[in-house]
Structure 1
Amino acid sequence: MARPLGPVRLKKTNPITLLIGAILCIFIIYFLAAPASSDFSKARKSTAASHPLSPPTSPFRKSNSKGKASPPPVSRYNLNNVTITSDPIGGRENVLILTPMARFYQEYWDNLMKLSYPHELITLGFILPKNKEGNSATTALQEQIAKTQKSGPEKDRFKSIIILRQDFEPPLQSQDESERHKMQNQRDRRAAMSKARNSLLFTTLGPATSWVLWLDADIVETPPTLIQDLAAHDKPIVAPNCYQRYYNADKKKMDERPYDFNNWQDSPKAQEIAAQMGPDDILLEGYAEMATYRALMAYMTPEGGDGDVHQEVPLDGVGGTALLVKADVHRDGAMFPPFPFYHLIETEGFAKMAKRLGWHPTGLPNYKVYHYNE
């Protein structure tokens, strides 16, 4: 005969274990029941076109639920509403300042901060090489950006800042001025500069941009009103004259000398040299080995430097130390050729391409900006 079993005693469950189990059950039920597309669509809609440069680029995910998936956002821009006038502050026009940077100069950043154009209308774009010097420059740049954008006064903060790192090796390991300006280094160096400028331009030019100011990282002194002064000429491409301050041992005092020789008017001699060149050869300015006899804007300033700052001269070639460009010029396709374009390359090739598109460069021989003196 079977014997009856006694009462069964169950082991008491720990209350903490029950609590954790309940939380997990609630999370699993919510995860399974919630529509997959709901939260994502709301996030996409809230960020659509919020970036000052371009619409969001993350992929649109289809819903896994039975409900109908929300369509991806559509951003609309009417370029007819983007004004480009001689009074950019009055028109609240957005300015994009682009700087290829191999070295960081504190004087460059200090001068940038002194620009009187409303900073909330300025976007900064930088591109730096992926080498030791580029790493050092990036670190120094980010420190200044953090001070300005996070802890600086509201009026000093810029609309947005973009930092790019080059995806190709720089052709020169040294950025010393003597090495950069050797004639045998010019083609490779300037082709690399063209690629950097194009990468920076195509990545940052937005639908609301009115003006693009190209400003080299070693420009350490400009008038605070640089942007509105150049824009006041209402020209598609405007180049100030780039000089360099130095100590003149003969005069025993500080003096200044021309620096950028890429702002020029063409000459019959230069055209004759170009006609005899092969398809892959380039003309270079400022070298005795290749005398072009072009009229250089660097030497158009009168003795004593007291000429009219508003004087304009037509140019056939431009440099990139400081250059204000209407955004429509770039939108039309004018870029910086890294290849011989009518025997010209980089900024001079850009001027030639812009002229072919109907945009004519203008120089200001008596309006000066200053280059760092190594």
Structure 2
Amino acid sequence: MNAIDGDRKSVLILTPIKDAATYLENYVARIEALTYPRENLSIGLLESDSRDETWALLARLRQRLDARCRRVALVKKDFGFAMPPGTPRWAPAYQLTRRTILARARNQLLFRALKDEDFVLWLDVDVISYPADLIERLLDVGRDILHPHCVTAPSGATFDRNGWAEHGTKFLSDYRGSGRPVRLDAVGGTVLFIRADIHREGLIFPPYRYGVENSAIRPRHDVWGRGEVETEGLGVMAQDMGYQCWGLPDLEVIHASE
């Protein structure tokens, strides 16, 4: 279970979803297009606080997921949080609360869905395009924690800026063309590949400000003060546990434009 040997590894795809009805059909189609063997692929989704038809649509798509994956886990867990109408999800005043809730959702999904898998692939529902051999390519790199380069257009600017180095001053676009993995201090969650045993050892998405004493964190944060939450907090926590996060600047995945 420790050696990375390609197709024999079992992988669990995990996706938290909310108000995702627009993206679910394409999401399932992209899962169906993956070249990774069905017997080595499981999937788990957690839906929370949706105001659209996400949960009902997911139930209708369940049969297609069952046909593609060896095991499917669908979880319903509401947290009672909604952005005010007309407010973009990146509005600074709501970031700490929003990302705290997202961290809680990710942890709930992780603890409910992870069984015997070797790796976890965190995959956001609004990542609309990625290589069909994505899992094989991630396994071939041979790292414990990997963050591909999430953009909204090929060769475009970095979209997921939660993956950074040098106190938040360097992003994956700064390393494009290197042809190799680069060290990161924090990671994003749009697409994130983690060896499952590190989660089992206690690596979570902190739903609180984490890493105040870690020299890798950003020296100040205009929104909520020192410390990192959710995926960035996970990156700092991994470092505290002795694991290095890596980014793949030349492996691009495409996020929906916002």
Aligned-residue offset at 1:371:
0.4
Deviating above 4 A after TM superposition, structure 1's stretches of 4 or more consecutive aligned residues are none
| TM-score (normalizing by structure 1) | 0.61
Unaligned runs of 5+ in 1: 1-82, 150-155, 246-253, 268-291
Residues 32 and 68 in structure 2, CA contact (< 8 A), matched pair in contact too: no
Identity between Structure 1 and Structure 2 (%): 31
Q: Give the Cα separation in 1 of the matches to 2:228 and 2:65.
A: 39
Which residue does the alignment assign to 2:235?
351
1:228 aligns to what? 136
Match of 1:195 among 104, 119, 139: 104
Tell me, yes or no, if the aligned pair for 1:84 and 1:211 is still in contact at 8 Å: no
Report 1 or 2 for greater relative contact order, CA contacts < 8 Å, sequence distance ≥ 6: 2
Deviation of 1:147 after TM superposition, in Å, equals 3.8
**Whole-angstrom CA distance in 2 between matches of 1:360 and 1:185:** 30
Residue identity matched to 2:172: M
Q: Say which SS state the counterpart of residue 249 (structure 2) adopts.
A: strand
Say yes or no: does 1:204 pair with 2:113. yes
Q: Which residue of 1 aligns with 2:11?
A: 95
In the alignment of these two chains, the number of paired residues is 240
CA distance in 2, matches of 1:181, 1:298: 21
Which residue of structure 2 lines up, in the alignment, with residue 17 of structure 1? none
Match of 2:123 in 1: 215
Return the alpha-carbon distance in structure 1 between the equivalents of residues 79 and 65 of structure 2: 30
* 8 Å CA contact 1:260, 1:319 repeated in 2: yes
Give the drift of 1:111.
1.2
Unmatched segments (≥5 aa) in structure 2: 212-226
Cα distance in 2 for partners of 1:147, 1:328 equals: 29
The equivalent position to 1:327 in structure 2, one of 191, 196, 207, is 196
| Pairing 1:9-48 to 2, within 5 Å after superposition | none
The answer to whether the 8 Å contact 1:319/1:348 transfers is yes
Considering only CA atoms, is the larger Rg found in Structure 1 or Structure 2?
Answer: 1
Matched, 1:146 2:21: no
The answer to whether the Cα contact below 8 Å between 1:84 and 1:93 also exists between their aligned partners in 2 is no
Alpha-carbon distance in 2 for matches of 1:130, 1:186: 17
User: Does 2:210 align with 1:341?
Assistant: yes
C-alpha distance in structure 2 between counterparts of 1:227 and 1:373, whole Å: 24
Counterpart mapping for 1:40-59 below 5 A = none
State the distance in 2 between where 1:161 and 1:144 align. Answer: 11
Contact 2:144–2:194 (CA under 8 A) maintained in structure 1: yes
What does residue range 206-355 of structure 1 map to in structure 2 within 5 Å? 206=115, 208-245=116-153, 256-267=156-167, 294-302=169-177, 308=179, 311-342=180-211, 343-355=227-239
Q: What is the CA-CA distance between 1:170 and the residue it aligns to? A: 2.2
